[in-house]
Amino acid sequence: MDSRIFGDISFKDAGNILLSAESIVIASHEGPEADAIGSSLALGLMLESFGKNVWIYNKDGLESAKYLPGYEKIKRTLPNFIPDIFCVVDCATLGRIGEEGAKFAVRTTIMNIDHHSSSQPFGTYNLIVPDAPACGIVIYKIIESMGWEMNKDIATNLYAAIAKDTMCFLLHTVDKETLTIASKLVEQGAETFRVMKTLKYSTERKFKLLSTFLSRVKTIDGIAVSYLLKEDYEKSSATKDDSEDFIDMLRSLDGVKGAIFLREDEKNLYKVSMRSDPQIDVGSIALKFGGGGHKNAAGFNIEGTPEEIIPKVLDEILKQQKATEPLTKTEEMG
Ligand SMILES: [Mn+2]
């Protein structure tokens, strides 16, 4: 892993600044997954062990994360005190924590700890490591650089964070260091059973939603596409969380190089998620549409209907594919 650090503080600086605070709020993005929740809990539990007043905030919470140690500490409301530091994890922009949280955060010192390549240095202090495969890796390195003692609950949360963002250690972002850190976490007692319960979580309402999703799958020019309407969620009493990993199924289709999933959040307002093989940069496409993310996993919000949105996104992907084709071929030959 390239250890480029964008922003202005080192792992150790981050640890020391947090230690100098008495009260700390830790916040992560709305519609969280296990990297957001696991990173928040690991850092929160660590700071609590030093007697800090810690408030772990997530606007939405994550039902499947109830198996992670300390999950009951997550609060869906903001505190009634102004903390010394407002620490934001796993967010490319401050707005990702939700409007209310963002307004609250700017009233104090913000520390931004992130790993998105499109991350903005919105904090007073910024520790952005775009090559880290998960925010959990960045948290691990803060703990390691400070020589803080890990326990099994912290290790479990970090393992969940890293496993989630690497698709259970299968993505090309996984390198020797990722696996070394995972092995150290297991050594510290990480309970992989709890991680499995969180990452392989299903419900009957999710199965109902999935059947609708699968019935709409289409493959166009090597890109798998599907969508879900707001009414599909209502009919199956499902929530946004329930479809969170559906895009991975599109991506697993044999012969596809990329996947697009449209989720209708409000009438004609869609959250578009994209995944791709390494040769397609969906991150730059997301930026064009006002969103963000990583090179091979990104998203944005857009108004319209699936019939209007899908061709627009496909067009961008295919345009890019044309531009990179000769390079890819040379690489393959080499
Ligand atoms: Mn992440």
Q: If you measure from the C-alpha of residue 91 to the centroid of ligand 1, how many angstroms do you get, rounded to a whole number? A: 8
Q: If you measure from the C-alpha of residue 35 to the centroid of ligand 1, how many angstroms do you get, rounded to a whole number? A: 5
Structure pTM?
Answer: 0.84
CA distance 162 to 197: 15
Q: If you measure from the C-alpha of residue 330 to the centroid of ligand 1, how many angstroms do you get, rounded to a whole number? A: 32
Q: If you measure from the C-alpha of residue 326 to the centroid of ligand 1, how many angstroms do you get, rounded to a whole number? A: 31
Order of strands across the sheet that contains 258-266: 218-220, 223-228, 258-266, 269-276, 297-303, 292-294
Tally of CB atoms within 10 A around 324 = 13
Q: If you measure from the C-alpha of residue 267 to the centroid of ligand 1, how many angstroms do you get, rounded to a whole number? A: 28
Q: If you measure from the C-alpha of residue 159 to the centroid of ligand 1, how many angstroms do you get, rounded to a whole number? A: 13
Q: If you measure from the C-alpha of residue 199 to the centroid of ligand 1, how many angstroms do you get, rounded to a whole number? A: 14
Q: If you measure from the C-alpha of residue 52 to the centroid of ligand 1, how many angstroms do you get, rounded to a whole number? A: 25
User: For residue 301, what are the β-bridge partners?
Assistant: 271
Q: What is the pLDDT of residue 6?
A: 57
What share of the chain has pLDDT > 90, as a percent? 88
Mean pLDDT score of the chain, rounded to an integer? 93
Q: If you measure from the C-alpha of residue 76 to the centroid of ligand 1, how many angstroms do you get, rounded to a whole number? A: 19
Q: If you measure from the C-alpha of residue 107 to the centroid of ligand 1, how many angstroms do you get, rounded to a whole number? A: 25
11-24 pLDDT per residue, tens: 999 999 999 999 99
Q: If you measure from the C-alpha of residue 307 to the centroid of ligand 1, how many angstroms do you get, rounded to a whole number? A: 30
Domain limits of the chain?
A: 11-199, 204-333
Q: If you measure from the C-alpha of residue 112 to the centroid of ligand 1, how many angstroms do you get, rounded to a whole number? A: 13
225-284 pLDDT per residue, tens: 999 999 999 999 999 889 988 999 999 999 999 999 999 999 999 999 999 999 999 999
Contact between residue 256 and residue 223 where contact means Cβ atoms under 8 Å apart: yes
99-155 pLDDT per residue, tens: 999 999 999 999 999 999 888 999 999 999 999 999 999 999 999 999 999 999 999
One-letter amino acid for residue 322 of the chain: K
List of residues 6+ apart from 213 with CB closer than 8 A: 226, 228, 232, 243, 246
3-state helix, strand, coil in the chain (%, to 5): 45, 20, 35
Average pLDDT over residues 215-226: 96
Topology match between the domains 11-199 and 204-333: no
The domain made up of 204-333 has a fold known as: Diaminopimelate Epimerase; Chain A, domain 1 (3.10.310)
Q: What 3-state class would DSSP assign to 250?
A: helix
Q: For residue 321, give the nearest of 278, 287, 290 by alpha carbon.
A: 278
Q: If you measure from the C-alpha of residue 129 to the centroid of ligand 1, how many angstroms do you get, rounded to a whole number? A: 11
The domain made up of 11-199 has a fold known as: inorganic pyrophosphatase (n-terminal core) (3.90.1640)
Asked whether the predicted pLDDT for residue 326 surpasses 70, the reply is: no
Q: What is the pLDDT of residue 328?
A: 46
Asked whether the predicted pLDDT for residue 297 surpasses 60, the reply is: yes
25-38 pLDDT per residue, tens: 999 999 999 999 99
Q: If you measure from the C-alpha of residue 90 to the centroid of ligand 1, how many angstroms do you get, rounded to a whole number? A: 5
Q: If you measure from the C-alpha of residue 132 to the centroid of ligand 1, how many angstroms do you get, rounded to a whole number? A: 9
* Confidence class for position 322, pLDDT limits 50, 70, 90: confident
Residue that the structure tokens 């009634």 belong to: 80
Q: If you measure from the C-alpha of residue 89 to the centroid of ligand 1, how many angstroms do you get, rounded to a whole number? A: 9
What share of the chain has pLDDT > 70, as a percent? 95
Contact between residue 181 and residue 129 where contact means Cβ atoms under 8 Å apart: no
Q: What is the pLDDT of residue 324?
A: 64
Average pLDDT over residues 279-299: 93
Asked whether the predicted pLDDT for residue 329 surpasses 90, the reply is: no
Asked whether the predicted pLDDT for residue 332 surpasses 80, the reply is: no
Q: If you measure from the C-alpha of residue 331 to the centroid of ligand 1, how many angstroms do you get, rounded to a whole number? A: 29
Asked whether the predicted pLDDT for residue 318 surpasses 90, the reply is: no
Q: What is the pLDDT of residue 2?
A: 44
Average pLDDT over residues 308-327: 83
